[in-house]
Amino acid sequence: MTALTALPAWQDMLTAADRLADVDMRQAFQHDPERAARYSLSACGMLLDYSKNRIDDAALAALFELARATGVEEQRAAMFSGQRINATEDRAVLHTALRAPREAVVEHAGENVVPAVHAVLDRLSGFAQSVRNGEWRGFDGHAITDIVNIGIGGSDLGPFMVCEALKDYTAQHLRLHFVSTVDGWQLANVLAGLNPATTLFIVASKTFTTQETLTNARAARAWLVAAGGEDAVARHFVAVSTNTEAVCQFGIDPANMFGFWNWVGGRYSLWSAIGLPILLAIGDIHFRALLDGAHAMDRHFATAPLHGNMPVILAMLGVYYVNGMGAASHLISPYNQPLHRLPAYLQQLDMESNGKTVRLDGDAVDYQTGPIIWGEPGINAQHAYYQLLHQGSQLIPVDFIAALSNPRSSAEHQTILLANFLAQTEALMCGKDAATVRAELSAQGLDEAAIAALLPHKVFAGNRPTNTLLLDGLDPHTLGGLVAMYEHKVFVQGVVWGVNSYDQWGVELGKQLARAIEAELRGTAPAGRHDASTSRLIAHVRSALGT
Protein backbone atom coordinates (compact mmCIF):
# COMPACT_ATOMS: atom_id res chain seq x y z
CA MET A 1 0.00 0.00 0.00
CA THR A 2 1.24 3.49 -0.76
CA ALA A 3 0.80 6.35 1.66
CA LEU A 4 -2.27 7.38 -0.33
CA THR A 5 -4.18 4.11 -0.40
CA ALA A 6 -3.45 3.59 3.30
CA LEU A 7 -5.29 6.80 4.19
CA PRO A 8 -8.68 6.38 5.90
CA ALA A 9 -9.91 9.23 3.69
CA TRP A 10 -8.99 7.18 0.60
CA GLN A 11 -10.97 4.23 1.91
CA ASP A 12 -13.91 6.52 2.69
CA MET A 13 -13.80 7.84 -0.86
CA LEU A 14 -13.83 4.28 -2.25
CA THR A 15 -16.70 3.31 0.05
CA ALA A 16 -18.72 6.31 -1.11
CA ALA A 17 -17.99 5.44 -4.74
CA ASP A 18 -19.10 1.84 -4.15
CA ARG A 19 -22.29 2.98 -2.49
CA LEU A 20 -23.12 5.49 -5.23
CA ALA A 21 -21.87 3.70 -8.35
CA ASP A 22 -25.44 2.71 -9.20
CA VAL A 23 -27.26 5.55 -7.47
CA ASP A 24 -30.25 6.80 -9.37
CA MET A 25 -29.55 10.49 -9.84
CA ARG A 26 -33.13 11.10 -10.96
CA GLN A 27 -34.36 9.90 -7.59
CA ALA A 28 -31.74 11.98 -5.82
CA PHE A 29 -33.18 15.06 -7.52
CA GLN A 30 -36.73 14.02 -6.60
CA HIS A 31 -35.79 13.54 -2.95
CA ASP A 32 -33.91 16.79 -2.70
CA PRO A 33 -35.48 19.81 -4.39
CA GLU A 34 -32.44 21.87 -3.35
CA ARG A 35 -29.91 19.52 -4.96
CA ALA A 36 -29.22 21.68 -8.04
CA ALA A 37 -28.82 24.82 -5.95
CA ARG A 38 -26.71 23.12 -3.29
CA TYR A 39 -24.35 21.58 -5.84
CA SER A 40 -23.82 24.76 -7.85
CA LEU A 41 -21.54 27.71 -7.35
CA SER A 42 -20.50 30.85 -9.17
CA ALA A 43 -17.06 32.39 -9.38
CA CYS A 44 -15.12 34.56 -11.83
CA GLY A 45 -17.95 34.95 -14.33
CA MET A 46 -18.80 31.24 -14.39
CA LEU A 47 -21.59 29.12 -13.02
CA LEU A 48 -20.65 25.55 -12.21
CA ASP A 49 -23.49 23.08 -11.72
CA TYR A 50 -22.06 19.77 -10.52
CA SER A 51 -25.35 18.34 -9.28
CA LYS A 52 -25.54 15.79 -12.13
CA ASN A 53 -22.87 13.66 -10.51
CA ARG A 54 -23.15 10.42 -8.54
CA ILE A 55 -22.62 12.21 -5.28
CA ASP A 56 -24.30 13.04 -2.04
CA ASP A 57 -23.16 15.10 0.94
CA ALA A 58 -21.31 12.19 2.51
CA ALA A 59 -19.41 11.43 -0.71
CA LEU A 60 -18.43 15.08 -1.06
CA ALA A 61 -17.35 15.20 2.57
CA ALA A 62 -15.13 12.15 1.92
CA LEU A 63 -13.64 13.82 -1.15
CA PHE A 64 -12.85 17.08 0.67
CA GLU A 65 -11.39 15.09 3.55
CA LEU A 66 -9.18 13.28 1.05
CA ALA A 67 -8.03 16.62 -0.34
CA ARG A 68 -7.24 17.77 3.19
CA ALA A 69 -5.51 14.54 4.16
CA THR A 70 -3.27 14.61 1.10
CA GLY A 71 -2.16 18.15 1.89
CA VAL A 72 -3.89 20.10 -0.87
CA GLU A 73 -4.13 23.20 1.31
CA GLU A 74 -0.47 23.06 2.37
CA GLN A 75 0.73 22.38 -1.17
CA ARG A 76 -1.43 25.18 -2.49
CA ALA A 77 0.23 27.57 -0.04
CA ALA A 78 3.63 26.15 -1.02
CA MET A 79 2.97 26.75 -4.71
CA PHE A 80 1.74 30.30 -4.28
CA SER A 81 4.65 31.17 -2.01
CA GLY A 82 7.29 30.02 -4.47
CA GLN A 83 8.51 26.86 -2.77
CA ARG A 84 10.26 24.40 -5.04
CA ILE A 85 7.36 22.02 -5.39
CA ASN A 86 8.69 20.82 -8.76
CA ALA A 87 11.17 18.68 -6.84
CA THR A 88 12.51 16.57 -9.71
CA GLU A 89 13.64 19.72 -11.49
CA ASP A 90 14.29 21.64 -8.27
CA ARG A 91 12.07 24.51 -9.39
CA ALA A 92 9.33 26.68 -8.02
CA VAL A 93 5.98 26.72 -9.83
CA LEU A 94 4.97 30.32 -10.12
CA HIS A 95 2.82 30.82 -13.20
CA THR A 96 0.40 32.51 -10.80
CA ALA A 97 2.96 35.33 -10.38
CA LEU A 98 2.62 36.08 -14.10
CA ARG A 99 -0.89 37.35 -13.52
CA ALA A 100 -0.32 39.00 -10.16
CA PRO A 101 -1.11 42.72 -10.09
CA ARG A 102 1.77 45.18 -10.24
CA GLU A 103 1.66 45.91 -6.51
CA ALA A 104 1.69 42.25 -5.44
CA VAL A 105 4.71 40.65 -3.82
CA VAL A 106 5.68 37.11 -4.81
CA GLU A 107 9.02 35.97 -3.52
CA HIS A 108 11.30 33.57 -5.28
CA ALA A 109 14.77 32.89 -3.92
CA GLY A 110 14.41 35.90 -1.65
CA GLU A 111 13.41 38.26 -4.44
CA ASN A 112 10.04 39.74 -5.40
CA VAL A 113 9.49 38.55 -8.98
CA VAL A 114 6.49 40.77 -9.72
CA PRO A 115 8.47 43.86 -10.86
CA ALA A 116 10.40 41.72 -13.38
CA VAL A 117 7.16 40.13 -14.59
CA HIS A 118 5.63 43.54 -15.19
CA ALA A 119 8.79 44.92 -16.78
CA VAL A 120 8.64 42.14 -19.42
CA LEU A 121 4.91 42.64 -19.80
CA ASP A 122 5.36 46.37 -20.39
CA ARG A 123 8.11 45.71 -22.95
CA LEU A 124 5.93 43.15 -24.69
CA SER A 125 3.05 45.60 -24.70
CA GLY A 126 5.16 48.35 -26.22
CA PHE A 127 6.42 46.02 -28.92
CA ALA A 128 2.95 44.65 -29.68
CA GLN A 129 1.58 48.16 -29.87
CA SER A 130 4.24 49.21 -32.37
CA VAL A 131 3.42 46.21 -34.58
CA ARG A 132 -0.31 46.75 -34.26
CA ASN A 133 -0.19 50.44 -35.09
CA GLY A 134 2.21 49.96 -37.98
CA GLU A 135 5.19 51.79 -36.46
CA TRP A 136 7.24 48.60 -36.59
CA ARG A 137 8.31 48.28 -40.20
CA GLY A 138 9.65 45.41 -42.25
CA PHE A 139 12.83 45.48 -44.33
CA ASP A 140 11.27 47.43 -47.19
CA GLY A 141 9.41 49.91 -45.01
CA HIS A 142 5.98 48.27 -44.99
CA ALA A 143 3.97 47.54 -41.85
CA ILE A 144 3.54 43.96 -40.63
CA THR A 145 0.44 42.14 -41.84
CA ASP A 146 1.17 38.54 -40.82
CA ILE A 147 2.59 37.01 -37.67
CA VAL A 148 3.88 33.45 -37.60
CA ASN A 149 4.37 31.84 -34.21
CA ILE A 150 6.85 29.01 -34.45
CA GLY A 151 6.67 26.83 -31.35
CA ILE A 152 5.33 23.50 -30.14
CA GLY A 153 3.66 22.09 -27.04
CA GLY A 154 3.23 24.81 -24.44
CA SER A 155 4.83 27.29 -26.83
CA ASP A 156 1.98 26.74 -29.28
CA LEU A 157 -1.13 25.22 -27.71
CA GLY A 158 -1.88 27.97 -25.19
CA PRO A 159 -1.39 30.99 -27.47
CA PHE A 160 -3.16 29.23 -30.35
CA MET A 161 -6.11 28.22 -28.16
CA VAL A 162 -6.54 31.73 -26.74
CA CYS A 163 -6.14 33.48 -30.12
CA GLU A 164 -8.89 31.25 -31.48
CA ALA A 165 -11.10 31.67 -28.42
CA LEU A 166 -10.82 35.46 -28.54
CA LYS A 167 -11.21 35.91 -32.30
CA ASP A 168 -13.91 38.51 -31.63
CA TYR A 169 -11.31 40.69 -29.90
CA THR A 170 -8.66 40.31 -32.58
CA ALA A 171 -7.23 43.10 -34.71
CA GLN A 172 -8.61 42.71 -38.21
CA HIS A 173 -5.49 43.96 -39.96
CA LEU A 174 -3.14 41.31 -38.51
CA ARG A 175 -3.28 37.65 -39.46
CA LEU A 176 -1.94 35.10 -36.98
CA HIS A 177 -0.44 31.79 -38.08
CA PHE A 178 0.83 28.96 -35.91
CA VAL A 179 3.48 26.55 -37.11
CA SER A 180 4.30 23.70 -34.75
CA THR A 181 4.98 20.44 -36.53
CA VAL A 182 8.20 19.38 -38.19
CA ASP A 183 6.13 18.05 -41.04
CA GLY A 184 7.44 20.72 -43.41
CA TRP A 185 4.08 20.72 -45.16
CA GLN A 186 2.73 23.06 -42.50
CA LEU A 187 5.44 25.71 -42.74
CA ALA A 188 5.46 25.50 -46.55
CA ASN A 189 1.72 26.04 -46.65
CA VAL A 190 1.82 29.00 -44.30
CA LEU A 191 4.74 30.64 -46.12
CA ALA A 192 3.13 30.08 -49.51
CA GLY A 193 0.53 32.71 -48.70
CA LEU A 194 2.89 35.27 -47.16
CA ASN A 195 5.02 38.21 -48.20
CA PRO A 196 8.41 38.17 -46.42
CA ALA A 197 8.47 41.97 -46.32
CA THR A 198 5.34 42.10 -44.13
CA THR A 199 5.77 38.93 -42.05
CA LEU A 200 6.95 38.80 -38.46
CA PHE A 201 8.17 35.52 -36.97
CA ILE A 202 8.02 34.74 -33.28
CA VAL A 203 10.31 31.86 -32.37
CA ALA A 204 8.78 30.61 -29.13
CA SER A 205 10.69 28.04 -27.16
CA LYS A 206 11.32 27.98 -23.45
CA THR A 207 14.48 25.93 -23.86
CA PHE A 208 15.36 27.04 -27.39
CA THR A 209 16.60 23.52 -28.00
CA THR A 210 13.41 21.97 -29.34
CA GLN A 211 14.23 20.32 -32.64
CA GLU A 212 10.88 20.90 -34.35
CA THR A 213 10.89 24.60 -33.51
CA LEU A 214 14.50 25.24 -34.45
CA THR A 215 14.14 23.35 -37.72
CA ASN A 216 11.12 25.47 -38.65
CA ALA A 217 12.81 28.65 -37.44
CA ARG A 218 15.90 27.97 -39.56
CA ALA A 219 13.76 27.33 -42.63
CA ALA A 220 11.72 30.48 -42.02
CA ARG A 221 14.90 32.50 -41.52
CA ALA A 222 16.33 31.24 -44.82
CA TRP A 223 13.04 32.13 -46.56
CA LEU A 224 13.23 35.66 -45.17
CA VAL A 225 16.93 36.15 -45.87
CA ALA A 226 16.45 35.01 -49.47
CA ALA A 227 14.06 37.92 -49.93
CA GLY A 228 15.44 40.62 -47.64
CA GLY A 229 19.05 39.69 -46.84
CA GLU A 230 20.65 39.07 -43.42
CA ASP A 231 19.83 42.57 -42.19
CA ALA A 232 16.12 41.79 -42.49
CA VAL A 233 16.31 39.32 -39.59
CA ALA A 234 16.34 42.09 -36.98
CA ARG A 235 13.04 43.50 -38.32
CA HIS A 236 11.31 40.16 -38.81
CA PHE A 237 12.40 37.79 -36.06
CA VAL A 238 11.74 37.98 -32.36
CA ALA A 239 12.35 35.22 -29.84
CA VAL A 240 10.57 34.21 -26.67
CA SER A 241 12.69 32.05 -24.43
CA THR A 242 14.48 31.55 -21.14
CA ASN A 243 17.71 30.73 -23.00
CA THR A 244 19.44 33.96 -24.09
CA GLU A 245 22.61 32.20 -25.19
CA ALA A 246 20.80 29.86 -27.60
CA VAL A 247 18.74 32.77 -28.96
CA CYS A 248 21.96 34.67 -29.73
CA GLN A 249 23.54 31.58 -31.28
CA PHE A 250 20.53 31.20 -33.52
CA GLY A 251 21.13 34.75 -34.76
CA ILE A 252 18.39 36.72 -33.07
CA ASP A 253 19.50 39.91 -31.37
CA PRO A 254 18.77 39.75 -27.59
CA ALA A 255 17.17 43.18 -28.06
CA ASN A 256 14.48 41.27 -29.96
CA MET A 257 14.09 38.67 -27.25
CA PHE A 258 11.45 38.51 -24.54
CA GLY A 259 12.37 36.40 -21.57
CA PHE A 260 10.65 34.41 -18.90
CA TRP A 261 11.80 32.17 -16.10
CA ASN A 262 12.37 28.53 -15.36
CA TRP A 263 9.68 28.67 -12.68
CA VAL A 264 7.14 28.88 -15.53
CA GLY A 265 6.31 25.44 -16.91
CA GLY A 266 5.87 25.26 -20.70
CA ARG A 267 2.23 24.20 -20.46
CA TYR A 268 1.58 26.98 -17.92
CA SER A 269 3.28 29.69 -19.95
CA LEU A 270 0.61 31.42 -22.02
CA TRP A 271 0.55 34.20 -19.40
CA SER A 272 4.24 34.93 -19.95
CA ALA A 273 6.04 36.28 -23.02
CA ILE A 274 4.86 33.06 -24.70
CA GLY A 275 1.54 34.93 -24.86
CA LEU A 276 3.02 37.45 -27.32
CA PRO A 277 0.84 36.24 -30.23
CA ILE A 278 -2.20 36.80 -28.01
CA LEU A 279 -1.04 40.30 -27.12
CA LEU A 280 -0.45 41.06 -30.79
CA ALA A 281 -3.89 39.72 -31.67
CA ILE A 282 -6.04 41.27 -28.95
CA GLY A 283 -3.94 44.18 -27.68
CA ASP A 284 -2.80 45.28 -24.26
CA ILE A 285 -6.14 46.01 -22.60
CA HIS A 286 -7.66 42.65 -23.45
CA PHE A 287 -4.45 40.74 -22.66
CA ARG A 288 -4.37 42.33 -19.21
CA ALA A 289 -8.04 41.41 -18.76
CA LEU A 290 -7.08 37.79 -19.53
CA LEU A 291 -4.40 37.98 -16.83
CA ASP A 292 -6.81 39.63 -14.40
CA GLY A 293 -9.36 36.88 -14.97
CA ALA A 294 -6.74 34.25 -14.22
CA HIS A 295 -5.67 36.20 -11.13
CA ALA A 296 -9.28 36.35 -9.91
CA MET A 297 -9.40 32.55 -10.19
CA ASP A 298 -6.07 32.33 -8.33
CA ARG A 299 -7.61 34.31 -5.47
CA HIS A 300 -10.71 32.12 -5.50
CA PHE A 301 -8.60 28.96 -5.47
CA ALA A 302 -6.29 30.29 -2.75
CA THR A 303 -9.00 31.51 -0.42
CA ALA A 304 -12.30 29.67 -0.91
CA PRO A 305 -12.98 26.79 1.46
CA LEU A 306 -12.54 23.40 -0.18
CA HIS A 307 -16.28 22.74 -0.40
CA GLY A 308 -16.84 26.05 -2.20
CA ASN A 309 -13.77 25.96 -4.38
CA MET A 310 -14.36 25.38 -8.10
CA PRO A 311 -11.02 23.84 -9.05
CA VAL A 312 -11.05 21.66 -5.92
CA ILE A 313 -14.59 20.41 -6.58
CA LEU A 314 -13.81 19.54 -10.21
CA ALA A 315 -10.52 17.91 -9.25
CA MET A 316 -12.01 15.77 -6.52
CA LEU A 317 -14.93 14.68 -8.69
CA GLY A 318 -12.31 13.63 -11.24
CA VAL A 319 -10.41 11.61 -8.63
CA TYR A 320 -13.69 10.01 -7.53
CA TYR A 321 -14.50 8.79 -11.04
CA VAL A 322 -10.96 7.69 -11.90
CA ASN A 323 -10.18 5.90 -8.65
CA GLY A 324 -13.60 5.12 -7.26
CA MET A 325 -15.47 4.16 -10.41
CA GLY A 326 -12.77 3.25 -12.92
CA ALA A 327 -13.25 6.05 -15.43
CA ALA A 328 -10.32 6.03 -17.86
CA SER A 329 -11.08 9.26 -19.66
CA HIS A 330 -12.62 12.67 -19.23
CA LEU A 331 -14.36 14.49 -22.04
CA ILE A 332 -14.22 18.25 -22.58
CA SER A 333 -17.20 19.49 -24.57
CA PRO A 334 -17.10 23.21 -25.32
CA TYR A 335 -20.16 24.36 -27.25
CA ASN A 336 -18.72 27.67 -28.46
CA GLN A 337 -16.86 27.19 -31.71
CA PRO A 338 -14.02 29.61 -30.77
CA LEU A 339 -13.14 27.17 -27.96
CA HIS A 340 -12.34 24.47 -30.50
CA ARG A 341 -8.68 24.25 -29.38
CA LEU A 342 -9.54 24.06 -25.67
CA PRO A 343 -9.58 20.24 -25.55
CA ALA A 344 -6.17 20.04 -27.27
CA TYR A 345 -4.78 22.64 -24.88
CA LEU A 346 -6.19 20.77 -21.88
CA GLN A 347 -4.75 17.51 -23.16
CA GLN A 348 -1.24 18.84 -22.68
CA LEU A 349 -2.08 20.66 -19.48
CA ASP A 350 -3.60 17.61 -17.85
CA MET A 351 -1.88 14.62 -19.43
CA GLU A 352 1.67 16.02 -19.49
CA SER A 353 1.15 17.05 -15.87
CA ASN A 354 -0.50 14.01 -14.32
CA GLY A 355 0.39 11.22 -16.75
CA LYS A 356 2.77 9.73 -14.17
CA THR A 357 3.07 6.42 -12.33
CA VAL A 358 5.81 7.30 -9.86
CA ARG A 359 5.05 9.30 -6.78
CA LEU A 360 7.15 12.23 -5.63
CA ASP A 361 8.53 9.95 -2.91
CA GLY A 362 9.85 7.61 -5.65
CA ASP A 363 7.33 4.82 -5.04
CA ALA A 364 5.23 3.41 -7.85
CA VAL A 365 1.54 4.25 -7.60
CA ASP A 366 -0.92 1.43 -6.87
CA TYR A 367 -3.90 3.35 -8.27
CA GLN A 368 -4.82 5.08 -11.50
CA THR A 369 -3.65 8.65 -12.10
CA GLY A 370 -4.39 11.17 -14.85
CA PRO A 371 -7.22 10.18 -17.19
CA ILE A 372 -7.21 10.54 -20.97
CA ILE A 373 -8.51 14.00 -21.82
CA TRP A 374 -10.28 14.33 -25.12
CA GLY A 375 -12.89 16.39 -26.90
CA GLU A 376 -14.13 18.53 -29.74
CA PRO A 377 -16.76 21.24 -29.91
CA GLY A 378 -19.83 19.61 -28.40
CA ILE A 379 -22.42 20.24 -31.04
CA ASN A 380 -20.32 18.47 -33.68
CA ALA A 381 -19.50 15.74 -31.19
CA GLN A 382 -23.23 15.10 -30.73
CA HIS A 383 -23.29 13.97 -34.35
CA ALA A 384 -20.15 11.91 -33.98
CA TYR A 385 -19.23 10.16 -30.74
CA TYR A 386 -21.98 11.08 -28.28
CA GLN A 387 -23.63 7.75 -29.13
CA LEU A 388 -20.91 6.16 -27.01
CA LEU A 389 -21.59 8.57 -24.15
CA HIS A 390 -25.27 7.72 -24.13
CA GLN A 391 -25.24 3.99 -24.74
CA GLY A 392 -21.59 2.86 -24.71
CA SER A 393 -20.06 0.65 -22.05
CA GLN A 394 -17.53 3.18 -20.70
CA LEU A 395 -18.08 5.61 -17.88
CA ILE A 396 -17.02 8.99 -19.25
CA PRO A 397 -17.50 12.09 -17.10
CA VAL A 398 -17.97 15.21 -19.21
CA ASP A 399 -17.42 18.93 -18.73
CA PHE A 400 -20.03 20.82 -20.75
CA ILE A 401 -18.90 24.41 -21.37
CA ALA A 402 -20.89 27.20 -23.03
CA ALA A 403 -21.06 30.98 -22.95
CA LEU A 404 -24.39 32.68 -22.24
CA SER A 405 -23.57 35.77 -24.25
CA ASN A 406 -22.56 35.15 -27.84
CA PRO A 407 -23.00 38.47 -29.66
CA ARG A 408 -21.88 37.33 -33.11
CA SER A 409 -24.31 34.44 -33.15
CA SER A 410 -27.95 35.24 -33.92
CA ALA A 411 -30.54 34.74 -31.18
CA GLU A 412 -31.88 31.88 -33.32
CA HIS A 413 -28.51 30.11 -33.42
CA GLN A 414 -27.72 30.76 -29.78
CA THR A 415 -31.07 29.43 -28.58
CA ILE A 416 -30.65 26.23 -30.57
CA LEU A 417 -27.05 25.85 -29.39
CA LEU A 418 -27.95 26.23 -25.73
CA ALA A 419 -31.02 24.02 -26.07
CA ASN A 420 -28.77 21.23 -27.33
CA PHE A 421 -26.21 21.93 -24.63
CA LEU A 422 -28.83 21.60 -21.89
CA ALA A 423 -30.60 18.66 -23.50
CA GLN A 424 -27.45 16.57 -23.59
CA THR A 425 -26.73 16.80 -19.89
CA GLU A 426 -30.38 16.05 -19.16
CA ALA A 427 -30.39 13.06 -21.50
CA LEU A 428 -27.14 11.72 -20.09
CA MET A 429 -28.49 11.86 -16.56
CA CYS A 430 -32.17 11.00 -17.05
CA GLY A 431 -31.82 8.49 -19.83
CA LYS A 432 -35.01 6.83 -21.04
CA ASP A 433 -36.44 3.80 -19.27
CA ALA A 434 -38.10 0.75 -20.80
CA ALA A 435 -41.62 1.83 -19.83
CA THR A 436 -41.23 5.14 -21.67
CA VAL A 437 -39.78 3.44 -24.73
CA ARG A 438 -42.60 0.88 -24.70
CA ALA A 439 -45.24 3.63 -24.50
CA GLU A 440 -43.60 5.53 -27.39
CA LEU A 441 -43.37 2.46 -29.62
CA SER A 442 -46.88 1.40 -28.86
CA ALA A 443 -48.14 4.93 -29.66
CA GLN A 444 -46.43 4.53 -33.04
CA GLY A 445 -48.61 1.45 -33.61
CA LEU A 446 -45.91 -1.24 -33.34
CA ASP A 447 -47.09 -4.72 -32.38
CA GLU A 448 -45.77 -6.59 -29.34
CA ALA A 449 -43.16 -8.54 -31.28
CA ALA A 450 -41.75 -5.42 -32.91
CA ILE A 451 -41.71 -3.61 -29.58
CA ALA A 452 -39.88 -6.48 -27.90
CA ALA A 453 -37.27 -6.53 -30.66
CA LEU A 454 -36.63 -2.78 -30.67
CA LEU A 455 -37.05 -1.90 -27.03
CA PRO A 456 -33.60 -2.82 -25.65
CA HIS A 457 -31.91 -0.76 -28.36
CA LYS A 458 -33.90 2.34 -27.53
CA VAL A 459 -33.41 2.31 -23.76
CA PHE A 460 -30.94 4.84 -22.33
CA ALA A 461 -29.60 3.79 -18.95
CA GLY A 462 -28.83 7.40 -18.02
CA ASN A 463 -27.09 8.21 -14.75
CA ARG A 464 -24.02 9.46 -16.65
CA PRO A 465 -22.14 12.22 -14.85
CA THR A 466 -21.61 15.71 -16.20
CA ASN A 467 -20.44 19.09 -14.99
CA THR A 468 -22.08 22.14 -16.54
CA LEU A 469 -20.02 25.30 -16.84
CA LEU A 470 -21.87 28.36 -18.04
CA LEU A 471 -19.66 31.35 -18.77
CA ASP A 472 -21.14 34.84 -18.73
CA GLY A 473 -19.42 35.38 -22.06
CA LEU A 474 -16.37 34.33 -24.01
CA ASP A 475 -14.42 37.43 -23.08
CA PRO A 476 -10.75 37.72 -22.05
CA HIS A 477 -11.48 37.98 -18.32
CA THR A 478 -13.74 34.95 -18.17
CA LEU A 479 -11.45 32.91 -20.41
CA GLY A 480 -8.52 33.72 -18.10
CA GLY A 481 -10.56 32.42 -15.16
CA LEU A 482 -11.58 29.27 -17.02
CA VAL A 483 -8.03 28.35 -18.01
CA ALA A 484 -6.65 29.09 -14.53
CA MET A 485 -9.43 26.96 -13.08
CA TYR A 486 -8.25 23.96 -15.10
CA GLU A 487 -4.61 24.65 -14.13
CA HIS A 488 -5.60 24.47 -10.48
CA LYS A 489 -7.78 21.41 -11.02
CA VAL A 490 -4.74 19.62 -12.45
CA PHE A 491 -2.64 20.83 -9.51
CA VAL A 492 -5.10 19.47 -6.93
CA GLN A 493 -5.29 16.08 -8.63
CA GLY A 494 -1.50 15.91 -8.81
CA VAL A 495 -1.29 16.57 -5.08
CA VAL A 496 -3.87 13.90 -4.28
CA TRP A 497 -2.12 11.34 -6.50
CA GLY A 498 1.24 12.36 -5.02
CA VAL A 499 2.88 12.94 -8.41
CA ASN A 500 4.93 15.89 -9.59
CA SER A 501 2.61 17.68 -12.03
CA TYR A 502 5.42 19.96 -13.22
CA ASP A 503 8.00 17.72 -14.85
CA GLN A 504 7.66 15.78 -18.13
CA TRP A 505 10.49 13.24 -18.24
CA GLY A 506 8.20 10.94 -20.18
CA VAL A 507 8.71 12.93 -23.38
CA GLU A 508 12.51 12.66 -23.31
CA LEU A 509 13.16 9.05 -24.36
CA GLY A 510 11.47 9.42 -27.74
CA LYS A 511 13.48 12.61 -28.39
CA GLN A 512 16.77 10.80 -27.62
CA LEU A 513 15.97 7.84 -29.83
CA ALA A 514 14.84 10.14 -32.65
CA ARG A 515 18.28 11.80 -32.68
CA ALA A 516 19.96 8.42 -33.09
CA ILE A 517 17.53 7.21 -35.74
CA GLU A 518 17.82 10.52 -37.60
CA ALA A 519 21.56 9.91 -38.10
CA GLU A 520 20.85 6.40 -39.34
CA LEU A 521 18.22 7.65 -41.76
CA ARG A 522 20.71 10.16 -43.12
CA GLY A 523 23.27 7.40 -43.45
CA THR A 524 25.76 9.30 -41.29
CA ALA A 525 25.74 6.70 -38.50
CA PRO A 526 26.02 2.93 -38.72
CA ALA A 527 22.90 0.87 -38.07
CA GLY A 528 22.19 1.00 -34.35
CA ARG A 529 21.01 -1.75 -32.04
CA HIS A 530 17.24 -1.79 -32.31
CA ASP A 531 14.55 -4.38 -31.92
CA ALA A 532 13.90 -6.32 -35.11
CA SER A 533 10.73 -4.42 -35.93
CA THR A 534 12.38 -0.99 -35.68
CA SER A 535 15.46 -2.12 -37.65
CA ARG A 536 13.29 -3.42 -40.45
CA LEU A 537 11.23 -0.24 -40.52
CA ILE A 538 14.38 1.92 -40.58
CA ALA A 539 15.61 -0.04 -43.59
CA HIS A 540 12.25 0.40 -45.28
CA VAL A 541 12.25 4.19 -44.67
CA ARG A 542 15.87 4.48 -45.81
CA SER A 543 15.07 2.87 -49.08
CA ALA A 544 12.22 5.38 -49.57
CA LEU A 545 14.54 8.27 -48.67
CA GLY A 546 17.25 6.85 -50.90
CA THR A 547 19.95 7.07 -48.21
Known catalytic residue at 511 = yes
153 part of the interface to ligand F6P, by CB under 6 A: yes
Catalytic residue among 135, 511, 518, 540: 511
Among 149, 155, 333, 500, binds ligand F6P (CB under 6 A): 155
Comparing CB distances to ligand F6P, the nearer of 157 and 327 is 157
If one asks whether residue 371 binds ligand F6P (CB under 6 A), the answer comes out as no
Stretch that binds ligand F6P, among 123-131, 148-156, 287-295, 440-448 (CB under 6 A): 148-156
Q: Is 478 in the site for ligand F6P (CB under 6 A)?
A: no
Run of H or E including 390: helix 386-391
Site size with ligand F6P, rule: CB under 6 A: 14
Q: Is 82 left (phi over 0), alpha (psi -120 to 50) or beta?
A: left
Residue 56: count of CB within 10 angstroms of its CB = 17
Active-site annotation holder among 34, 383, 412, 457: 383
Rule CB under 6 A: which of 193-212 touch ligand F6P? 205-207, 210
* Residue 203 C-beta: closest distance to ligand F6P, Å: 9
If 0-12 CB within 10 Å is exposed, 13-18 middle and 19+ buried, where does residue 171 land? middle
> Which residue, 335 or 486, is less far from ligand F6P as judged by CB?
486
C-alpha distances (whole Å) from 308 to each of 294, 312, 317 are 18, 8, 13
**352 assigned to active site:** yes
Between 330 and 369, how does the x/- string for binding to ligand F6P read (CB under 6 A)? ----------------------x-----------------
Q: Decide if 316 contacts 66 (C-beta within 8 A).
A: yes
Task: Give the active site residue among 212, 352, 376, 487.
Answer: 352
Distance CA 350, CA 499 (A): 12
DSSP E strand boundaries for 307-414 = 329-334, 372-375, 398-405
Residue-by-residue DSSP string for 60-111: HHHHHHHHHHTTHHHHHHHHHTT---BGGGTB---GGGGGS-TT---EETTE
Q: Is 285 in the site for ligand F6P (CB under 6 A)?
A: no
- Site for ligand F6P contains 266 (CB under 6 A): yes
Identify the DSSP state of 363: P
At its nearest, how many Å lie between ligand F6P and the CB of residue 226? 25
Interface map 490-509 toward ligand F6P (x if CB under 6 A): --------------x--x--
- Alpha helices of 133-272 — where are they, by DSSP H? 157-165, 184-192, 211-228, 233-236, 244-250
State in angstroms the smallest separation of the CB of 358 from ligand F6P: 18
Among 154, 159, 377, 498, binds ligand F6P (CB under 6 A): 154
CB of residue 206 to ligand F6P, shortest distance in Å: 4
> Quick check: helix, strand or coil at residue 149?
strand
The nearest distance, CB 389 to ligand F6P, in angstroms, is: 30
CB closer to ligand F6P, 246 vs 418: 246
Among residues 210 and 468, whose Cβ is nearest to ligand F6P? Answer: 210
Can you say whether the dihedral through the CA atoms of 250, 254, 255, 260 is positive or negative? positive
Phi, psi values for residue 216, rounded to 5°: -65, -40
* Pair 538, 525: CB distance under 8 Å: no
Of 51, 70, 96, 213, the one binding ligand F6P by CB under 6 A = 213
CA distances from 42 to 50, 238, 289, 333, 471 (A): 11, 40, 19, 19, 10
Listed ranges 4-12, 116-124, 150-158, 217-225: which one lies at the site for ligand F6P (CB under 6 A): 150-158
Nearest C-alpha neighbor of 358 from the set 498, 507, 496: 498
Mind telling me the catalytic residues? 352, 383, 511
Q: Which residues bind ligand F6P (CB under 6 A)?
A: 152-155, 205-207, 210, 213, 266-267, 352, 504, 507
